[in-house]
Amino acid sequence: MIIDISRPVGADTPVWPGDPPVTLEPVARLEAGDPAAVSRLTLGTHTGTHVDPPAHFLPGGATVDQLDLDVLVGPALVVDLTATVGPVDPEALAALATGHSRLLLRTGAADGVVTGGAARRLVEAGVRLVGVDTLSIEPATRSPGVPGWPPEEHYEVHRLLLSAGVVIVEGLDLSAAPAGEYQLVCLPLRVAGGDGAPARAVLIPGGRPQ
Protein backbone atom coordinates (compact mmCIF):
# COMPACT_ATOMS: atom_id res chain seq x y z
CA MET A 1 0.00 0.00 0.00
CA ILE A 2 1.32 3.42 -0.95
CA ILE A 3 0.52 6.30 1.42
CA ASP A 4 0.32 9.71 -0.22
CA ILE A 5 1.77 12.22 2.24
CA SER A 6 1.60 15.25 -0.04
CA ARG A 7 -1.16 17.84 0.21
CA PRO A 8 -3.51 18.73 -2.66
CA VAL A 9 -2.64 21.95 -4.50
CA GLY A 10 -5.58 24.21 -5.22
CA ALA A 11 -7.20 27.54 -4.45
CA ASP A 12 -7.77 26.45 -0.83
CA THR A 13 -4.16 25.41 -0.19
CA PRO A 14 -2.79 27.33 2.83
CA VAL A 15 0.33 29.34 2.02
CA TRP A 16 3.04 31.01 4.06
CA PRO A 17 2.02 34.60 4.97
CA GLY A 18 2.95 36.82 2.03
CA ASP A 19 3.59 33.97 -0.42
CA PRO A 20 1.69 33.87 -3.74
CA PRO A 21 -1.73 32.20 -3.49
CA VAL A 22 -2.57 29.27 -5.73
CA THR A 23 -4.63 30.11 -8.81
CA LEU A 24 -5.89 27.68 -11.44
CA GLU A 25 -7.23 29.44 -14.53
CA PRO A 26 -8.88 27.64 -17.47
CA VAL A 27 -7.18 28.37 -20.79
CA ALA A 28 -8.95 25.81 -22.99
CA ARG A 29 -11.93 23.62 -22.20
CA LEU A 30 -13.56 20.64 -23.91
CA GLU A 31 -17.04 21.91 -23.10
CA ALA A 32 -16.17 25.14 -24.91
CA GLY A 33 -15.32 23.24 -28.06
CA ASP A 34 -11.55 23.20 -27.58
CA PRO A 35 -9.76 19.99 -28.64
CA ALA A 36 -8.09 19.63 -25.24
CA ALA A 37 -8.38 20.95 -21.70
CA VAL A 38 -5.52 23.21 -20.54
CA SER A 39 -5.19 25.39 -17.44
CA ARG A 40 -2.76 27.99 -16.18
CA LEU A 41 -1.38 27.18 -12.71
CA THR A 42 0.22 29.93 -10.63
CA LEU A 43 1.87 29.18 -7.30
CA GLY A 44 4.92 29.90 -5.19
CA THR A 45 7.96 27.65 -5.02
CA HIS A 46 7.11 26.81 -1.39
CA THR A 47 3.47 25.85 -1.90
CA GLY A 48 1.88 22.85 -0.22
CA THR A 49 4.22 19.91 0.28
CA HIS A 50 7.57 21.26 -0.85
CA VAL A 51 11.33 20.88 -0.57
CA ASP A 52 13.69 23.52 0.84
CA PRO A 53 17.21 23.36 -0.66
CA PRO A 54 20.19 25.34 0.75
CA ALA A 55 19.52 28.16 -1.75
CA HIS A 56 16.32 28.98 0.16
CA PHE A 57 18.39 30.73 2.86
CA LEU A 58 22.07 30.43 2.00
CA PRO A 59 23.69 32.66 -0.66
CA GLY A 60 25.30 30.45 -3.29
CA GLY A 61 23.67 27.34 -1.82
CA ALA A 62 22.56 24.41 -3.94
CA THR A 63 19.28 24.96 -5.75
CA VAL A 64 16.46 22.45 -5.82
CA ASP A 65 17.50 21.05 -9.21
CA GLN A 66 20.99 20.39 -7.84
CA LEU A 67 19.87 18.25 -4.90
CA ASP A 68 21.07 14.66 -4.70
CA LEU A 69 17.95 12.57 -5.32
CA ASP A 70 19.45 9.81 -3.18
CA VAL A 71 18.63 11.99 -0.18
CA LEU A 72 14.99 12.27 -1.21
CA VAL A 73 14.42 8.57 -1.85
CA GLY A 74 15.10 5.79 0.64
CA PRO A 75 14.35 4.44 4.12
CA ALA A 76 12.63 6.93 6.43
CA LEU A 77 11.30 6.91 9.97
CA VAL A 78 7.98 8.54 10.85
CA VAL A 79 8.13 9.82 14.42
CA ASP A 80 4.85 10.42 16.26
CA LEU A 81 5.19 13.58 18.35
CA THR A 82 1.49 14.36 18.60
CA ALA A 83 1.67 14.06 22.39
CA THR A 84 4.33 16.79 22.51
CA VAL A 85 3.01 20.18 23.58
CA GLY A 86 4.60 23.11 21.78
CA PRO A 87 7.72 23.10 19.61
CA VAL A 88 9.83 19.97 19.17
CA ASP A 89 12.86 20.30 21.44
CA PRO A 90 15.88 18.01 22.00
CA GLU A 91 14.08 16.16 24.79
CA ALA A 92 11.27 15.21 22.40
CA LEU A 93 13.86 13.56 20.16
CA ALA A 94 15.83 11.93 22.96
CA ALA A 95 14.32 8.48 22.46
CA LEU A 96 15.02 8.32 18.73
CA ALA A 97 17.13 5.41 17.60
CA THR A 98 20.30 6.37 15.80
CA GLY A 99 20.98 5.28 12.25
CA HIS A 100 18.00 6.90 10.56
CA SER A 101 19.05 9.43 7.96
CA ARG A 102 15.52 10.54 7.02
CA LEU A 103 13.08 11.60 9.74
CA LEU A 104 9.48 12.70 9.23
CA LEU A 105 8.01 14.41 12.30
CA ARG A 106 4.30 13.91 12.81
CA THR A 107 3.22 16.68 15.17
CA GLY A 108 -0.43 17.21 14.27
CA ALA A 109 -0.19 20.78 15.51
CA ALA A 110 0.39 24.22 14.03
CA ASP A 111 3.04 24.91 16.66
CA GLY A 112 4.84 21.61 16.10
CA VAL A 113 7.95 23.29 14.82
CA VAL A 114 11.56 22.42 15.56
CA THR A 115 13.69 24.41 18.01
CA GLY A 116 17.31 25.35 17.41
CA GLY A 117 18.43 22.78 19.96
CA ALA A 118 16.48 20.03 18.25
CA ALA A 119 17.93 21.05 14.87
CA ARG A 120 21.46 20.76 16.28
CA ARG A 121 20.62 17.32 17.65
CA LEU A 122 19.41 16.22 14.21
CA VAL A 123 22.63 17.43 12.60
CA GLU A 124 24.75 15.68 15.24
CA ALA A 125 22.79 12.46 14.63
CA GLY A 126 23.70 12.53 10.95
CA VAL A 127 20.18 13.14 9.67
CA ARG A 128 20.18 14.03 5.95
CA LEU A 129 16.48 14.88 5.55
CA VAL A 130 13.84 16.09 7.99
CA GLY A 131 10.19 16.52 7.11
CA VAL A 132 7.40 18.21 9.06
CA ASP A 133 3.61 18.34 8.79
CA THR A 134 3.50 22.10 9.29
CA LEU A 135 3.70 24.96 6.78
CA SER A 136 7.24 25.62 7.95
CA ILE A 137 9.78 24.07 10.24
CA GLU A 138 9.78 27.44 12.06
CA PRO A 139 6.94 29.63 13.39
CA ALA A 140 4.85 31.42 10.77
CA THR A 141 5.86 34.97 9.96
CA ARG A 142 6.11 37.16 6.88
CA SER A 143 7.85 36.36 3.60
CA PRO A 144 10.68 38.27 1.90
CA GLY A 145 9.58 41.58 0.43
CA VAL A 146 6.69 41.88 2.87
CA PRO A 147 6.90 44.74 5.41
CA GLY A 148 8.00 43.43 8.78
CA TRP A 149 10.28 40.65 7.47
CA PRO A 150 12.06 39.48 10.66
CA PRO A 151 15.85 39.61 11.09
CA GLU A 152 18.06 36.75 9.94
CA GLU A 153 18.49 35.29 13.41
CA HIS A 154 14.79 34.37 13.42
CA TYR A 155 15.55 31.57 10.95
CA GLU A 156 18.02 29.67 13.09
CA VAL A 157 16.56 26.25 12.32
CA HIS A 158 16.56 26.66 8.54
CA ARG A 159 20.12 27.97 8.58
CA LEU A 160 21.40 25.27 10.94
CA LEU A 161 19.94 22.43 8.90
CA LEU A 162 20.57 23.76 5.41
CA SER A 163 24.16 24.80 6.17
CA ALA A 164 24.78 21.23 7.36
CA GLY A 165 23.40 19.82 4.12
CA VAL A 166 20.13 18.63 5.64
CA VAL A 167 17.24 18.83 3.17
CA ILE A 168 13.97 20.16 4.63
CA VAL A 169 10.54 18.96 3.50
CA GLU A 170 7.59 21.02 4.73
CA GLY A 171 3.82 20.79 4.45
CA LEU A 172 3.57 16.99 4.68
CA ASP A 173 0.32 15.21 5.46
CA LEU A 174 1.29 12.43 7.86
CA SER A 175 -2.22 11.84 9.22
CA ALA A 176 -2.45 8.42 7.55
CA ALA A 177 1.12 7.37 8.36
CA PRO A 178 1.53 5.70 11.77
CA ALA A 179 4.93 5.85 13.41
CA GLY A 180 7.37 3.40 11.93
CA GLU A 181 9.74 2.65 9.08
CA TYR A 182 8.92 3.29 5.45
CA GLN A 183 10.45 3.83 2.06
CA LEU A 184 10.18 7.53 1.20
CA VAL A 185 9.85 8.85 -2.34
CA CYS A 186 9.82 12.65 -2.42
CA LEU A 187 10.47 14.22 -5.81
CA PRO A 188 10.35 18.02 -6.16
CA LEU A 189 9.71 19.69 -9.49
CA ARG A 190 12.99 20.20 -11.32
CA VAL A 191 12.85 24.00 -11.18
CA ALA A 192 16.04 25.36 -12.74
CA GLY A 193 17.83 27.49 -10.16
CA GLY A 194 14.88 27.04 -7.82
CA ASP A 195 14.96 28.15 -4.17
CA GLY A 196 12.38 25.45 -3.54
CA ALA A 197 9.75 23.39 -5.34
CA PRO A 198 6.45 21.62 -4.67
CA ALA A 199 6.81 17.85 -4.42
CA ARG A 200 4.75 14.68 -4.60
CA ALA A 201 5.75 12.60 -1.60
CA VAL A 202 4.69 9.05 -0.80
CA LEU A 203 5.55 6.40 1.77
CA ILE A 204 5.77 2.67 1.14
CA PRO A 205 5.49 0.62 4.37
CA GLY A 206 8.66 -1.19 5.35
CA GLY A 207 12.27 -0.10 5.22
CA ARG A 208 15.43 -0.29 7.23
CA PRO A 209 17.75 2.38 8.63
CA GLN A 210 20.25 3.67 6.09
For the structural domain made of 3-205, what CATH number should be given?
3.50.30.50
What is d(CA 144, CA 63) in angstroms, rounded to the nearest whole number? 18
When pLDDT is averaged across residues 52-72 and rounded to a whole number, the result is 97
Residues 44-55 as b/e (b if ≥16 CB within 10 A, e otherwise) read bbbbbbbbbbbb
Predicted confidence at residue 80, as pLDDT, reads: 92
The pLDDT-based confidence of 179 (bands split at 50, 70, 90) is: very high
Contact 168, 123 (CB under 8 A): no
CA angle, 73 then 186 then 150, to 5°: 120
Predicted confidence at residue 111, as pLDDT, reads: 64
Predicted confidence at residue 153, as pLDDT, reads: 56
When pLDDT is averaged across residues 95-119 and rounded to a whole number, the result is 82
Closest CA to 131 of 206, 196, 77: 77
Predicted confidence at residue 128, as pLDDT, reads: 96
Give the chain's end-to-end CA distance (angstroms, integer).
21
When pLDDT is averaged across residues 80-93 and rounded to a whole number, the result is 85
- What residues act catalytically? 56
Alpha helices, DSSP H only, in the chain? 69-72, 116-124, 156-163
What is d(CA 206, CA 200) in angstroms, rounded to the nearest whole number? 19
What is d(CA 120, CA 46) in angstroms, rounded to the nearest whole number? 24
Q: What amino acid is encoded at 83 in this protein?
A: A
When pLDDT is averaged across residues 137-154 and rounded to a whole number, the result is 59
The pLDDT-based confidence of 181 (bands split at 50, 70, 90) is: very high
**Position 82 pLDDT exceeds 80:** yes
The pLDDT-based confidence of 84 (bands split at 50, 70, 90) is: confident
Predicted confidence at residue 143, as pLDDT, reads: 55
Closest CA to 104 of 166, 197, 170: 170
The pLDDT-based confidence of 210 (bands split at 50, 70, 90) is: very low
